[in-house]
Chain A
């Protein structure tokens, strides 16, 4: 959700029970403004928080204007400039929500490495998970397996989880962004929200990332697409089918999408208004039991 309209967005997303306490809101409003200035972002998004056992991570993302310009990509996050902060609830530090530190960009390697980790986050970026794995060692002709203890920092895991969530379930309504004929993606100023009938369909929402499926479509399927709007993958083909819960709340004044694959991600949109956004509040774990639960 946009940092500037944080309060309204929080109110809209509150149906899932996930919010911010008043002091967090106030400090975020202040500190994100400063982040925007210091890092020279065009927009700062409050991404959400990951609940740790000891403390929570508050995550924000910066988008800069330059990043929209390159032609090859349709949009780009601020080069992995995700900012993490520790919850001030920690007894030791008198940390407040004001100090943001830059997280390193996620790499493929990190994702693979951290995929073995299970369980909750601790809330301490320097915490090290120990993971023992069997590695095949070969000495001469003998091949034997040896247990190697791998240590993974929580920071690495945090980065890769955020990256995975972003790639899997970041949502944007159709028409909110548009592709100019020359390639760059811009925020659509004339976006006036989805109509009611569209808001109830998953096909009206896109993954906020580079399209993957789009290239595989047949010409016939592409025929109905508008190249300036339909340049991202819609949600409706997500696997497994039914990995989204779509609900109309407050009468029909608010549509809420909840990801079932990453429980905790809530997307909200008030039809016929420009208000939309998503927030993740959760444990940072993927729901791999989904097929059993539907």
Chain B
């Protein structure tokens, strides 16, 4: 009822509008349950609404000092509702609208939020305006609420200094809006009372409201909103009545904006938001600087001659012809990072291996070879622990003879290959981004390679991440990364036929005899291969990295010999002899410098794809080789030069989906035989027969007596 009556009353009591406010508050609060009802329908509309302070005190522009105005703004005005939550949050746009009805000449005030204001109202205001900026406002926040608050705040802080004229047009517009809002009374939302909608607002009203809300959205830069700005502009135009307002409207707009002098109050701007970019820039600055310093200090030809830095940009250029690569800018940064690496380590040869993508960060991988004798040897912790284990077990054996020990022996640990041989021929450094620190990857062990073949995991980009997998992976992500690098290198590093040749000292024969790696060297007489030949025939490309055996090593390691030498336990030797035939089969892979035309097919799919970089200008095109087995591995050759590059997730291709390896076989229980089964207890007849037989044999009685006594004693003790 109050709803209906109050507007009329308002109209009647125009002058009393302000004085009546407390009553209106009550009225509004009584409406609340109803008005809260529309809440679920509305919130979307209010997303954009930066809850903005809005003007609208019923001040008549002509009479600034008129009584109602004084009532509103003067210190003696009825103080706005106390900040007690319910009371103050019960907004009354309704009331406001009524006031507007009541005071048709009510003017718009440029309001502005003062974030530093210390009154509780403004505090709340600040909060809500923040919410507005973050576009996650509390949707239940009603517009009217803010309205009022801002009004109050304004009055408290500034007083009616900004009161200005209003255009009748605008007034009418606002009037309409408010009327509609009023009629629906869905305007007010309440925090505490979740409601059921009384009546759905029509789309048009929603549209109007959301449009208005949008206009009232405060810019985070200047703190202005378009609504107030427009009203200010119109006010200014009407005040000054310029001749050709439409022509100079831009400058008016500018003037109005200029008139808003504002202290920079938001000193707490989030400056550290940009920190990472600066950090990176700072790091990378070091890359660029070091080049300069080095250049100045050592412009010796020797240094340049000894330079181990690869020409990354050149190969990047060729790879770009192939449509692969990282972009000029990133490549150059990597180039500089490699320079940093070669300057700080005793590196003989360095190569940009590629990039492995990760979930959070990526890895940039450099392949290096240390200068002779300057390897940084790692202490082999594993062996030490193994020895300890053996010692412990021996001790246990001595202590307890009676109980059987476990027969299970952990399978022979296949030792890793020495540095500079096999899969550990090169050392790999990784960093997450150019300018970051280079981390040296540990050498790879056969067990890691074997396990890595059975699992398929994404890299996260953090080296110390544990690899959770079945079968359990021995190591963390750095080991897995290293294993994948070894596998990819072994599979995809190829060179044109004839570029490398076997070294004279270490031939194939020696390799087979010693089981050592075979080495190769650059062929000084290499004359190059026609590019078109490289494209048309895969047999012109050869692997120059050793094949990794199923064992996980490049060179065969015979586990049985070692085990016999190390552990000379007769029982177990027997067991091993049984298994010997399995072990003795030496795994053989394709030898070094095998043409890739002999690579295995992937289910009727060729493992390599070749093509010419350009058909338009074939005379300067280069041959591009793409691995289908390791998607992301590329090689190019222009006949004389070649390079390999990998970029991708570090996974092997398989047309079928990944299947986890089967569970290991369940160990069979011991067969039930003579050792397990027992006879029935001896019966009385048997014992008597036995005794008779013994007596007949005239055995010494004493012993029997003793034993019997013992038994008796035992019985006694049991009874006791």
A complexed with B: yes
B151 to chain A, nearest CB (A): 27
Q: List residues of A (162-205) whose CB comes within 8 Å of B's CBs.
A: 181, 196-197
Are the C-beta atoms of B327 and A15 separated by less than 8 Å?
Answer: yes
Are the C-beta atoms of B362 and A247 separated by less than 8 Å?
Answer: yes
Partner of B456, one of A197, A242, A283, A293: A293
Chain A residues whose C-beta falls within 8 Å of the C-beta of B276 in the assembled complex = 248, 251-252
Chain B residues whose C-beta falls within 8 Å of the C-beta of A263 in the assembled complex = 649
Interface check B614, CB cutoff 8 A: yes
Binds A, one of B29-37, B43-51, B54-62: B43-51
Q: List residues of B (613-648) whose CB comes within 8 Å of A's CBs.
A: 613-617, 626, 628, 631-632, 647-648
In the complex, the chain A residue whose C-beta lies closest to that of B207 is A181
Are the C-beta atoms of A14 and B326 separated by less than 8 Å?
Answer: yes
Chain A residues whose C-beta falls within 8 Å of the C-beta of B274 in the assembled complex = 196, 252
Are the C-beta atoms of B326 and A292 separated by less than 8 Å?
Answer: no
Chain B residues whose C-beta falls within 8 Å of the C-beta of A118 in the assembled complex = 655-656
Are the C-beta atoms of B458 and A293 separated by less than 8 Å?
Answer: yes
Are the C-beta atoms of A283 and B647 separated by less than 8 Å?
Answer: no
In the complex, the chain A residue whose C-beta lies closest to that of B278 is A251
Chain B residues whose C-beta falls within 8 Å of the C-beta of A294 in the assembled complex = 457-458
Interface check A96, CB cutoff 8 A: yes
Given contacts A219-B40, A226-B48, contact A21 B135 (CB under 8 A): no
Interface check A269, CB cutoff 8 A: no
Given contacts A53-B605, A252-B274, contact A19 B324 (CB under 8 A): yes
Partner of A292, one of B136, B280, B433, B456: B456
Interface check A224, CB cutoff 8 A: yes
B629 to chain A, nearest CB (A): 11
Are the C-beta atoms of B320 and A21 separated by less than 8 Å?
Answer: yes
Are the C-beta atoms of A226 and B47 separated by less than 8 Å?
Answer: yes
In the complex, the chain B residue whose C-beta lies closest to that of A242 is B359
Q: In the complex the two chains form, what is the Cα distance from A226 to B206 in whole Å?
A: 13
Interface check B322, CB cutoff 8 A: yes
Instruction: Give the number of chain B interface residues (Cβ < 8 Å).
Output: 67
Q: In the complex the two chains form, what is the Cα distance from A21 to B330 in whole Å?
A: 17
In the complex, the chain A residue whose C-beta lies closest to that of B45 is A227
Q: List residues of B (308-356) whose CB comes within 8 Å of A's CBs.
A: 320-330, 355
Chain A contact-residue range equals 35 or more
Interface check A153, CB cutoff 8 A: no
Q: In the complex the two chains form, what is the Cα distance from A289 to B358 in whole Å?
A: 16
Chain B residues whose C-beta falls within 8 Å of the C-beta of A138 in the assembled complex = none
Are the C-beta atoms of A258 and B657 separated by less than 8 Å?
Answer: no
Interface check B361, CB cutoff 8 A: yes
Most buried by B among A227, A251, A253: A251
Interface check A119, CB cutoff 8 A: yes
Are the C-beta atoms of A119 and B616 separated by less than 8 Å?
Answer: no
Interface check A11, CB cutoff 8 A: yes
Q: In the complex the two chains form, what is the Cα distance from A200 to B329 in whole Å?
A: 23
Are the C-beta atoms of B616 and A23 separated by less than 8 Å?
Answer: yes
B39 to chain A, nearest CB (A): 9
Q: In the complex the two chains form, what is the Cα distance from A224 to B281 in whole Å?
A: 37
Chain A residues whose C-beta falls within 8 Å of the C-beta of B655 in the assembled complex = 118-120
B269 to chain A, nearest CB (A): 13
Q: In the complex the two chains form, what is the Cα distance from A263 to B358 in whole Å?
A: 12
Residue-wise, chain A 24-38 has the 8 Å CB interface mask toward B (1 for contact) of 100000000000000
Chain A residues whose C-beta falls within 8 Å of the C-beta of B606 in the assembled complex = 53
Given contacts A17-B355, A53-B606, A120-B628, contact A223 B280 (CB under 8 A): no
Q: In the complex the two chains form, what is the Cα distance from A133 to B622 in whole Å?
A: 43
Residue-wise, chain A 232-256 has the 8 Å CB interface mask toward B (1 for contact) of 0000000000100101111111000
Interface check B507, CB cutoff 8 A: no
Residue-wise, chain B 569-612 has the 8 Å CB interface mask toward A (1 for contact) of 00000000000000000000000000000000001011001011
Residue-wise, chain A 74-105 has the 8 Å CB interface mask toward B (1 for contact) of 00000000000001110000101000000000
Interface check A50, CB cutoff 8 A: no
Are the C-beta atoms of B357 and A16 separated by less than 8 Å?
Answer: yes
Partner of B615, one of A17, A89, A260: A89
In the complex, the chain B residue whose C-beta lies closest to that of A24 is B323
Are the C-beta atoms of B273 and A196 separated by less than 8 Å?
Answer: yes
A14 to chain B, nearest CB (A): 3
Are the C-beta atoms of B611 and A96 separated by less than 8 Å?
Answer: no
In the complex, the chain B residue whose C-beta lies closest to that of A260 is B458
Are the C-beta atoms of A14 and B458 separated by less than 8 Å?
Answer: no
Residue-wise, chain B 649-687 has the 8 Å CB interface mask toward A (1 for contact) of 101010111101000000000000000000000000000
Are the C-beta atoms of A224 and B322 separated by less than 8 Å?
Answer: no
A200 to chain B, nearest CB (A): 10
Are the C-beta atoms of A292 and B660 separated by less than 8 Å?
Answer: yes
Q: In the complex the two chains form, what is the Cα distance from A69 to B517 in whole Å?
A: 69
Q: In the complex the two chains form, what is the Cα distance from A293 to B273 in whole Å?
A: 33
Interface check A150, CB cutoff 8 A: no
Interface check B360, CB cutoff 8 A: yes
A142 to chain B, nearest CB (A): 35
Are the C-beta atoms of A223 and B327 separated by less than 8 Å?
Answer: no
Are the C-beta atoms of A21 and B278 separated by less than 8 Å?
Answer: no
Interface check B277, CB cutoff 8 A: yes
Chain A residues whose C-beta falls within 8 Å of the C-beta of B328 in the assembled complex = 11
Are the C-beta atoms of B615 and A94 separated by less than 8 Å?
Answer: yes
Are the C-beta atoms of A223 and B43 separated by less than 8 Å?
Answer: yes
Interface check B139, CB cutoff 8 A: yes
Interface check B279, CB cutoff 8 A: yes
Interface check A214, CB cutoff 8 A: no
B508 to chain A, nearest CB (A): 34
Interface check A137, CB cutoff 8 A: no
Q: In the complex the two chains form, what is the Cα distance from A46 to B321 in whole Å?
A: 19
Are the C-beta atoms of A224 and B136 separated by less than 8 Å?
Answer: yes
In the complex, the chain B residue whose C-beta lies closest to that of A53 is B609
Q: In the complex the two chains form, what is the Cα distance from A251 to B613 in whole Å?
A: 33
Interface check A110, CB cutoff 8 A: no
Most buried by B among A55, A119, A219, A253: A119
8 sample A-B contacts, Cβ–Cβ < 8 Å, listed by A number: A11-B327, A22-B320, A53-B605, A196-B274, A223-B40, A251-B277, A252-B276, A289-B456
- List B residues at the A interface (Cβ < 8 Å): 40, 43-45, 47-48, 135-136, 139, 203, 207, 273-274, 276-281, 320-330, 355, 357-362, 433, 455-458, 603, 605-606, 609, 611-617, 626, 628, 631-632, 647-649, 651, 653, 655-658, 660
Supplied contacts A21-B321, A258-B357, A293-B457, 7 more A-B pairs, CB within 8 Å: A15-B326, A89-B612, A245-B458, A250-B280, A250-B330, A251-B276, A252-B277
- List A residues at the B interface (Cβ < 8 Å): 11, 14-24, 51, 53-55, 87-89, 94, 96, 118-120, 181, 196-197, 219, 222-227, 242, 245, 247-253, 258, 260, 263, 282-283, 288-289, 292-294
